[in-house]
Amino acid sequence: MRPEFRNEPLTDFSKEENAQAMRTALQKVASQLGGEYSLVIGGERISTGNKLDSLNPSNRTQLIGSFHKATRELADRAVETAASAFESWKSSSAEQRSDLLFRTAGILRDRKHEMSAWMIYEVGKTWAEADGDTAEAIDFCEFYGREILRYAEGQPLTKIPGEENRLEYIPLGVGAVIPPWNFPLAIMAGLTLASFVTGNTVVLKPSSDAPTIAYKFFEILEEAGLPAGVVNFLTGSGAEVGDVLVDHPKTRYIAFTGSKEVGLRINERAAKVHSGQRWIKRVLAEMGGKDAIIVANDADLDEAATGVVQSAFGFQGQKCSACSRAIIDTRVYDTMLNKIVERTEKIKLGDPAEGVTTMAAVINEKAFKTINEYIEKGKAEGGRVLTGGGSDGEKGFFIEPTVIADVKPGATIEQEEIFGPVLAVIRADGFDDALRIANDTQYGLTGAVYSRDEEKIERARREFHVGNLYLNRKCTGALVGVHPFGGFNMSGTDSKAGGRDYLALFLQAKVSAEKVGATNKRAEVGTAI
């Protein structure tokens, strides 16, 4: 018997031995930067000569890894290969698959700091953010490894005399796994692990901004004993090979996390039935957010300010759960602004390889431009920049943590996902107004309320329409098993990663009814379905 699931502890870098271990891992990874990586289809390493480069956002000329781009033909071959592998993998036992996840967790744990170091270089995570990402990936292995054993147990059915009935969960088939770059290990791993632990086979197309960490994870899967073809590693442009994977008649489902625009496009394309296709494709699409923290007039303002600043600027505001709107009761508005600015100005912007850095560069040039445009738009629409607003794209894509006050409900930066270090502060005329503003968005991912009033807290539980609501704490930092994660409305298809319902999304239930002994009259007369 395995012990009950527990979250992987985070590393305390204030202890010198831990800080030293991270520095050693960073040095080791630094000596491996700039490598060349192939596609892997059915275990075969394939090079196309047409490359895409992954660069360090905080040091834009530093090459992290060079990847061969798949052609449309290779994307097609990857789906065909996964379809062949499915014929045997679907019959593997739940124990075998779950053991594979536990072995993967063990290897990840042994290489924890090394995996974090790859993220520090490739996507600009600080030590603490990278450590949290690696811990979450380990959690997904441990959690889904246990969950599949629960799904494999006999499932409860109502008994009738004369029949022995069973409900068994069976896999779906080939999944196209399309993750984002912002949790380059945890989300990429979570989507992939949930796919194959349930007996499906996978074409994994990592984000072009984070292919190296995905490749390192793929190598760990191979080391843990994953048979060739169960997961196929396919780098390439999302727009080019993404469509092939989504359209392919042998793709059974798409497990996507990313922007609303791409998610909706995938959902629409997946609905079309192609020649030879025998099923309706399932789409799991977890998408963006426009997450708000409400601060009521009776809140603990210090706690609230700390929660807002951590949620707004952790990983440069590039979390789907990031607080991009602080909606503050007018009675505490000015005090809160001072507290927010004071905390924001303590953030240390710099190279994430340095342990003291608390914020680094945004992911790439495109994001750098878009975020700066949003800051300008915020000002043009009447917002007041209280701190930040500056940026420097010379060495890396650095944008200061930016607080824009007096943003009007309905303004562009109050409505659109910015995905960068920009916090819009909005004045609310009491709690009703705050809830109304918070809910006036097409998204519904996370949200938080700071208040000492139990009635307000209860109202928020009922009326604040988000998938993950936090009360008197920040709105980021969901833990596997503790806070199953996923949003409403345009934030996604209502799944909850890291929760007990999650693996069911990768499975289908088959019922078999066997007649044994004395006849059951009601079943035999057969007036039901």
The count of other CB atoms within 10 Å of the CB of residue 436 is 15
What is the identity of the amino acid at 459?
Answer: R
Instruction: State yes or no: residue 57 binds ligand NAD (CB under 6 A).
Output: no
Instruction: State yes or no: residue 201 binds ligand NAD (CB under 6 A).
Output: no
Instruction: State yes or no: residue 175 binds ligand NAD (CB under 6 A).
Output: no
Instruction: State yes or no: residue 173 binds ligand NAD (CB under 6 A).
Output: no
> Tokens for 426?
């909005």
Closest CB 330 distance from ligand NAD, rounded Å: 29
Instruction: State yes or no: residue 401 binds ligand NAD (CB under 6 A).
Output: no
Q: Just list the catalytic residues.
A: 286, 320
Distance CA 96, CA 99 (A): 5
Closest CB 11 distance from ligand NAD, rounded Å: 23
Instruction: State yes or no: residue 492 binds ligand NAD (CB under 6 A).
Output: yes
Closest CB 213 distance from ligand NAD, rounded Å: 13
Who contacts 24 (Cβ-Cβ below 8 Å, separation ≥6)? Answer: 113
Instruction: State yes or no: residue 29 binds ligand NAD (CB under 6 A).
Output: no
Who contacts 258 (Cβ-Cβ below 8 Å, separation ≥6)? Answer: 178, 179, 180, 207, 286, 287
> Which residue from 254, 204, 190 is spatially nearest to 85, judged by alpha carbons?
204
Q: Is the dihedral of CA 268, 273, 277, 282 positive or negative?
A: positive
Closest CB 285 distance from ligand NAD, rounded Å: 9
Instruction: Give the bridge partners for 53, in sequence order.
Output: 66
Instruction: State yes or no: residue 67 binds ligand NAD (CB under 6 A).
Output: no
| Residue 239 or 529 with smaller CB distance to ligand NAD | 239
| Residue 183 or 253 with smaller CB distance to ligand NAD | 183
Q: Which of 18, 84, 259, 415 binds ligand NAD (CB under 6 A)?
A: 259
Give residues 430-449 in contact with ligand NAD (rule: CB under 6 A).
445
Closest CB 179 distance from ligand NAD, rounded Å: 6
Distance CA 52, CA 42 (A): 22
Q: Which of 22, 64, 178, 407 binds ligand NAD (CB under 6 A)?
A: 178
Q: Which CA distances in Å does 347 have to 111, 172, 326, 369, 402? A: 29, 46, 18, 22, 11
Task: Determine contact, residues 513/165, Cβ cutoff 8 Å.
Answer: yes
What residue has token string 């499932």?
155
Closest CB 292 distance from ligand NAD, rounded Å: 14
| Residue 26 or 245 with smaller CB distance to ligand NAD | 245
Give residues 282-301 in contact with ligand NAD (rule: CB under 6 A).
286-289
Instruction: Give the bridge partners for 359, in sequence order.
Output: 349
| Residue 114 or 247 with smaller CB distance to ligand NAD | 247
Distance CA 98, CA 153 (A): 13
Q: What is the arrangement of strands in the sheet containing 59-68, beginning at the earlier edge strand? A: 35-37, 59-68, 51-56
Q: Which among 123-131, 371-379, 422-430, 483-491 is the span making contact with ligand NAD, rule CB under 6 A?
A: 483-491
Q: Which residues bind ligand NAD (CB under 6 A)?
A: 178-183, 187, 205, 207-208, 238-239, 242-243, 246, 257-259, 262, 265-266, 286-289, 320, 417, 419, 445, 486-487, 491-492
